[in-house]
A and B are shown apart, each in its own frame.
Chain A
Amino acid sequence: MLLVEFTINGTLNRLSDIGYALTNYWDAKIMRIDPIQYRIAKPYGGYVRLGYGSIEFSPNLFDSDWPPPVNGAVSVYYSATTEEAKTLLFAGMAHLSGITREAVKYDLYGPSYDETVADSTAYNADLDTVLSGILTGIAEIATVDTTYARVSQPNVLHTTSGVHLAVDLASDIAAFYTHCFYVVGSTAYLIDMLLDAGSTTLTEYDFFPSTYDYLNPLSGARSGAFSQFSSYPYGSELSVTQYHNSQANVEAALVNIMAVQHKPRTRLRLPMVAGSIVTPGEKLSWTDTALGQDTAMWIRARSIQYAFDNEEIIVDGEGAIAAG
């Protein structure tokens, strides 16, 4: 169930695409909503940014508030069962973008995360310490959950050159060490790209026909004076910023980057049903009997699209493939 809280001129409205009589009544006033999606900065890690488009409401939602207000606070939830069990997907502002005869359209805006890191800021600590320091410097982020960070934390040794957006700097450092992070509410979740952040096993009753892809191969990865080469000399070379001056530290990071980059990928389409709200880093395993031969596959969720209009959750991620 799509559940949306939208505050109009100080009054909280509970809305949905079809009417739901839960603890409260969620009025059927949503005409259309763009998919809400997590999208990872780089295939091998970084900030899993929440993307959002627009939402269209039935004009009669504003019968007592015409013309529609310019903006209002909005929260988008999903629940498979009860109002109390709803999961927050997005919280931000809706800003009026258009009025037609059929609908009133608002664009969605999330937090801006506009804090910066000063020039010549020096870091020399474990990855989670460095990232926690950067991320909690952002006003909207209070804590960093490191439950699924790498057990043996790499050290970060870096001094900034120039002013950086804090969230972008954190994204680049996390990606270099094959970590990703995403933010829900005031908590940032740091996840090792080489670990499972929860796991789910699917049967063929649990997903729609899906596609299997591979990224273009890398011939090698370079960072400063250090480099590593792959077994695909015909691929392109990747160049990344260096966040340590130790050869072992950087080369280990480059090996991990190429390992993640070369994993098989899947664009998995799931029905939006009970228990199927997937979060970044979650491992999904299944066997597909619709290919040339039975195929066992698993991925870790990286980009996740909640397509309410199509009743689907579309998950992109990398993993492993084997004969089933």
Chain B
Amino acid sequence: MKIIYPDKINAVVADEENAAFLVANVLDDYPKKVWKATSADARLTLSVASGAAAVAVFNTNATAVSVTVSDGISLTLQSGLTLQSGLTLMSGESLSVNQYDVDPGGTGALWAEYAQVDNVHRIDLDFTGASGTIIQAGVVRAGTKNEFPDPRYGIGEGLRDFSIVKELNNGALYIRKRDLVRKFQFDLNVTRDSDFYTFMRTILQQRGPAPLAWWIVDDTGDWNWVVYVRPDGFPFGRHRASLYTNIGVSLLEVV
């Protein structure tokens, strides 16, 4: 199991942008509030602070994404943008380039990892979509990769329905379908010190009820469990002894 926290994206620019769906939308916590490009291929460029080792994308319609990490190819900011205080534009060499097929499970999510870079660095996300589509993405996160053992005894997965269902005059149902989000429940068995404290104090206590980029079960490499989720009630740990702790976790996807 992996969680990206803290997020270390300092700035993001796009080579294409619909004026009504700005690139800044990928930095908020709402996957449905998307950035839209203007064609079927587009690039996001992230400026990322030191210490990051993973990047995740949610609610994209791209079929493939090339992830290029570099500490150096010259950055050119779009007109009107300025660098955050303390940041500098750098030039250098590419550290890694990986091509990913997105969406094998129909969830529009991407998870990519790279060797941790202990300097301000750059990530280029080159999105490619089916012919005629307009590339979009809801949330992008890049930051510290926190690793934990995968949930034991598998995970529970279901849906929470926000639709409206009311009875009509003839007994039929009026249904207004709204978002159905995924929910997950599982148990973790981790070391009390340090995994439990990292999970509970360094991540959840700091982030609170806000969502996180989460890969719930990573050992199979299945991206169905790459999700942008928030705690559905805060986890509760039970210290079995001084060494290990069981934690019950319930997560709810955000929209």
Which residues of chain A have a CB within 8 Å of any CB of chain B?
18-19, 21, 23-25, 27-28, 204-210, 271-273, 288-290, 311
Contact = CB atoms under 8 A, between A and B. Distances in A.
A24 B20 contact: yes
B176 A25 contact: no
Contacts of B166: 208, 271, 311
Given A25-B25, A208-B174, A273-B176, A19 B32 contact: yes
Nearest to A206: B168
Given A19-B255, A28-B30, A311 B164 contact: yes
A18 B172 CA distance: 26
Contact of B169 (A23, A27, A204, A311): A204
A204 B168 contact: yes
Chain A binding surface, main DSSP class? loop
A209 B21 CA distance: 41
Contacts of A23: 20
A321 B210 CA distance: 55
Interface in B17-46: 20-21, 25, 30, 32-34
Contacts of B21: 21, 25
A27 B169 CA distance: 34
For the complex of A and B, the 8 pairs showing the least CB-CB separation, nearest first, are A204-B170, A24-B20, A204-B169, A271-B174, A19-B32, A311-B164, A209-B169, A207-B169
Contacts of A273: 174, 176
B33 A21 contact: yes
B115 to A, nearest CB: 36
19 contacts: A18-B178, A19-B30, A19-B32, A19-B33, A21-B34, A24-B20, A25-B20, A25-B25, A25-B33, A28-B30, A205-B172, A205-B174, A208-B174, A209-B169, A210-B169, A271-B168, A290-B169, A290-B170, A311-B166
Contacts of A25: 20-21, 25, 33-34
Interface in B151-196: 162, 164, 166-170, 172, 174, 176, 178-179
A21 B20 CA distance: 9
Interface of B: 20-21, 25, 30, 32-34, 162, 164, 166-170, 172, 174, 176, 178-179, 255
A28 to B, nearest CB: 7
Given A204-B168, A204-B169, A208-B167, A27 B179 contact: no
Given A18-B179, A25-B20, A289 B33 contact: no
Contacts of B167: 208-209
Nearest to B31: A19
Nearest to B22: A25
A25 B169 CA distance: 35
B30 A207 contact: no
Given A208-B169, A289-B170, 4 more contacts: A204-B169, A206-B168, A209-B167, A290-B169
Contacts of B178: 18
A181 B21 CA distance: 41
A271 B176 contact: yes
A286 B166 CA distance: 19
A23 B25 CA distance: 15
A311 B30 contact: no
B61 to A, nearest CB: 12
A25 B21 CA distance: 7
Contacts of A18: 162, 178-179, 255
A27 B22 CA distance: 13
A60 to B, nearest CB: 10
A92 B166 CA distance: 32
B191 to A, nearest CB: 37
A25 B32 CA distance: 9
Contacts of A272: 176
Nearest to B136: A21
A185 to B, nearest CB: 25
Contacts of B34: 21, 25
A19 B164 CA distance: 16
B196 to A, nearest CB: 31
Contacts of A24: 20
Given A21-B21, A25-B25, A208-B168, A311 B33 contact: no
